[in-house]
């Protein structure tokens, strides 16, 4: 973590600037921001970014391997398999914790915490970057983007991916963002910016109907055929819904004449299920419970995670033998033990040190040989959990982003 821009930001910070930052984020859609925004970006060395990308490159090589589909076929739960061509994961998301080398204080390294073949806050983050740049005196030579991208080129690659290369007029009603009760989701501000930037409406699962193999939704009294689905629906959430919603969701497992972005099966193929299949210095030791003959004696150094959960639900940070005993042996294949990632209190804030993780955003257009890194988000915490919902009553924590650069670029 870079000290010079960190100290400069803290010195220049005041509450008025932070409120200006928030007001700019909220201005377009009052009441839609439903999670805490951290006061600060995270200033990260480009060398740290390169370490994260090396691990991502390794994972991508495994995803592209000829046997990856066979290795991950059991990842898809019974009754959740969606028909149709899976193609490629159009979105790949990698979450890294910022850790410190105990033998070399001040030397930080990334450790992969989770990954997903599923979209994230692509549109919202573009707005957040602009709001921060307008409210704060951010240092020159730093960028939230990766690989030479900027705001406009990210919008272009996302627009072509979401709408199709021949529909760049932001007026294509045949692409929808699919979610369950989108107006109630904490990430709804991203849905609104997705429509603002790309003209893609958020449509609730309960609004769609099937005629033959085609799907439709209704707007202004007219039935509109759905050709492309930007899928933001977490299928795990359906387990807790009423029977009529579950019945509606069953439509999605049938043969459909739609193109998925990305196909729902990738949510499971590229997930916690994949971690035990990987071996890389940037990935902590991870095993299925079913792979253990005897469990580690130092369980306190592991995290117990259910494969099928979202936003940290069901995760146990400080594992005990009793926690393992509560898992039925028949369900051992649905849980992983992951060696604990010790987040470093690396971010100096006016009211104490914060920990952080960085999420790298990759997209994989149909005309690209490999996924492309474009930008990022970050999340700051002062507790054991990093999710923004776990830090509601603290300051200098919450959703943010990394700015990549060097001490020299700051001085320039």
Closest CA to 149 of 401, 384, 362, 389: 362
At 24-83, the pLDDT tens digits run 999 999 999 999 999 999 999 999 999 999 999 999 999 999 999 999 999 998 888 898
Residue range 304-311: mean pLDDT, rounded: 78
Q: Are strands 202-204 and 175-179 parallel, antiparallel or unpaired?
A: parallel
Chain-centroid distance of CA 177 in Å reads 16
Query: Per-residue pLDDT for 310 more than 80?
Result: no
pLDDT value at residue 361: 98
Compute the CA torsion angle 304, 86, 164, 258 (nearest 10 deg).
-110
Question: What's the CA gap between 336 and 272, in Å, rounded?
Answer: 8
Alpha helices, H only, 28-82: 46-63, 68-71
pTM: 0.93
Question: What's the CA gap between 221 and 214, in Å, rounded?
Answer: 18
* Torsions phi, psi for 251 (to 5 deg): -60, -35
At 205-236, the pLDDT tens digits run 999 999 999 999 999 999 999 999 999 998 87
pLDDT value at residue 412: 38
Query: Per-residue pLDDT for 300 more than 80?
Result: yes
**Number of neighbouring beta carbons within 10 Å of residue 331:** 12
Residue range 259-280: mean pLDDT, rounded: 94
Query: Per-residue pLDDT for 94 more than 90?
Result: yes
- 8 Å CB contact between 300 and 319: yes
Query: Per-residue pLDDT for 243 more than 80?
Result: yes
Six token digits for residue 108: 């930080």
At 144-162, the pLDDT tens digits run 999 999 999 999 999 999 9
CB-based burial label for 345 (10 Å; 0-12, 13-18, 19+):
middle
Question: What's the CA gap between 341 and 301, in Å, rounded?
Answer: 9
Closest CA to 261 of 66, 78, 117: 117
* Torsions phi, psi for 249 (to 5 deg): -65, -30
* Residue 327's pLDDT band (cuts 50, 70, 90): very high
Q: What percent of the chain has pLDDT over 70?
A: 94
pLDDT value at residue 182: 96
Closest CA to 44 of 394, 372, 362, 359: 359
């Amino acid at each position: 973590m870079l000290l010079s821009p960190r100290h400069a930001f803290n010195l220049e910070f005041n509450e008025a600037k932070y409120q200006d930052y928030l007001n700019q984020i909220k201005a377009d859609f009052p009441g839609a921001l439903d999670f805490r925004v951290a006061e600060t970006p995270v200033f990260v060395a480009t060398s740290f970014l390169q370490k994260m990308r090396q691990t991502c490159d390794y994972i991508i090589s495994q995803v592209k391997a000829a046997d990856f589909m066979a290795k991950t076929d059991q990842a898809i739960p019974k009754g959740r398999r969606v028909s149709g061509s899976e193609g490629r994961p159009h979105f790949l998301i990698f979450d890294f914790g910022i850790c410190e080398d105990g033998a070399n204080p001040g030397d930080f390294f990334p450790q992969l915490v989770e990954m997903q073949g599923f979209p994230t806050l692509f549109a919202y983050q573009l707005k957040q970057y602009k709001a921060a740049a307008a409210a704060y005196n951010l240092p020159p030579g730093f960028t939230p983007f990766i690989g030479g991208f900027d705001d406009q080129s990210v919008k272009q690659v996302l627009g072509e991916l979401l709408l199709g290369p021949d529909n760049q007029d932001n007026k294509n009603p045949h692409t929808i963002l699919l979610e369950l009760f989108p107006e109630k989701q904490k990430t709804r501000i991203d849905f609104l910016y997705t429509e603002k930037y790309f003209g893609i409406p958020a449509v609730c699962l309960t609004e769609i109907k099937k005629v033959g193999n085609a799907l439709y939704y209704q707007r202004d009294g007219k039935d509109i055929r759905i050709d492309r689905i930007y899928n933001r629906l977490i299928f795990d959430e359906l387990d807790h819904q009423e029977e009529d919603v579950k019945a509606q969701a069953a439509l999605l497992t049938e043969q459909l004449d739609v193109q998925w972005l990305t196909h729902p099966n990738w949510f499971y193929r590229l997930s916690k299920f994949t971690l035990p299949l990987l071996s890389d210095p940037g990935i902590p030791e991870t095993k299925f419970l079913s792979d253990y003959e005897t469990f580690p004696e130092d369980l306190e150094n592991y995290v117990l995670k259910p494969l099928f959960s979202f936003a940290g639900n069901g995760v146990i940070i400080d594992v005990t033998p009793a926690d393992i005993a509560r898992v039925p042996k028949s369900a051992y294949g649905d849980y992983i033990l992951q060696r604990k990632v010790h987040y470093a209190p690396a971010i100096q804030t006016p009211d104490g040190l914060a920990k952080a993780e960085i999420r790298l955003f990759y997209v994989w257009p149909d005309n690209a040989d490999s996924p492309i890194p474009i930008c990022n988000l970050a999340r700051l915490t002062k507790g054991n959990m990093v999710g923004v919902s776990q830090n509601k009553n603290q300051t200098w924590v919450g959703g943010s982003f990394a700015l990549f650069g060097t001490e020299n670029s700051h001085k320039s």
